Structures are given as C-alpha cells and as structure tokens.
Structure 1
Amino acid sequence: MAKYNDCITQEDLPKRHFLFTHQITHQHLEPEYSKVNESARKYGMLLDSTLQSMSTVDAHDFIHKTFQDAKSEASKEDISEMQRHYQFEIMRMCLDKDKHLNQNTIGRIL
C-alpha cells in the first residue's frame, strides 16, 4: 500500500515519453543519445546521494518537485529533442524512486 496518495504513476509521464525514449531508430543519433543517457545516469547517482540524506517525507517531496520540474522543462517548445530525452529520463528516475520509497517499510530510498 502506498504511503502517499499523490504518488507518481506511469500515467503521469508524458505520452510521447514512451515513443521517444524506446524507439530511437536513427543509427546516426544513437551515439548522441548514449551521451545523454550517460549524463542522466550520472544525475541519477547524484539524486540517489541526495535522497539518502533526507527524511522520508523530504525525499518524497524532493522526488515530486524534481519530477514536476523535469516535466515542465520537457514540455517547453524551445528545447532540443536531446534535452527533452534527458528530462524524460529524469522523470522516469523519479517514478522509480517514488515507487521504491513507497515499497520500503523503513522509509529509506536505497
């Protein structure tokens, strides 16, 4: 059972996230997306480190704020598709962290 009633769900992700993130078919772009994915992975490590130092309630709030900030950035018209992909990855991380936070009875992120 979820600890919070406002948890991030799969439905909260933008619909185009799935098409965009999982269907990179242009081989000439794959190395660029690999770089973006590596940057997102590094951000995820920083996110983990930050969340570990927070209380459960603060971590929950931080995850939700980070998700909303990334969603807002991804919805801007003036960003590149690479930047949008990066924001989509942050949203996906927040979804995973929020799920994990709610499943963990001790209330620790990792």
Structure 2
Amino acid sequence: MAQRPAEQVAFHRTELSIILSLYGRMVAAGEWRDYGISLLREVAVFSVFRRTAEMPLYRIEKRPKLRTKQGEYAVLGPNGQVLKRGHELKSVLRVLERKLIRVVE
C-alpha cells in the first residue's frame, strides 16, 4: 500500500501577496535583499535576509495549530524572539512596517 506524502503547511496566494508587498517595499528601501520559503509539516516560514549568506533578519511564520490559541501568524527576530503574534497577517506584519517608516523618514 502506498504511503501518503506527509502534509505540509503552506502560505496561500493572498498571504504571499501581502508578504511580498512588504518585501518589495523593504527591498526598495535597501533594507532587505533576499528571502527563502520553508514549507514544513507544522509551520510555513518566510525568512528575510539582508545578505544571502547570513542568518535571517526576520522570520514570518504560519502555524495553523495555534489558530485557536494565540494566533497562527508570528514575526520572529534574528535571535528567535517573538516580535508579534496574532490571528491576522496584516496586523502581525505592522511590526515590520514601522521599521520601514523609520527608514524612509
């Protein structure tokens, strides 16, 4: 009997659109230069880099199992600290948008 492939968490097109919109603005501001996407069994991660060979500056995570608790979306800093967690992706990403406003000023 064939085994079913392990399911994985992924970002939906609308979620990716929101994330890539922010990513494009940060690239234009000269803050970010590269990204990577990891789709795992329990979490989908969008990692942002200043330089390709570095550790990620930020990680945007989607963990559906936390949907009913503190929220399925989170932004983590370079040392893994949770900067913001919540139920709506746009509100969670505001923590990074504030950094963009400071860069532009």
Q: Same fold (TM over 0.5)?
A: no
Higher helix share: 1
| TM-score, length basis structure 2 | 0.30
Structure ranking higher on relative contact order (CA contacts 8 Å, 6+ apart):
1
| TM-score, length basis structure 1 | 0.29
Higher strand share: 2
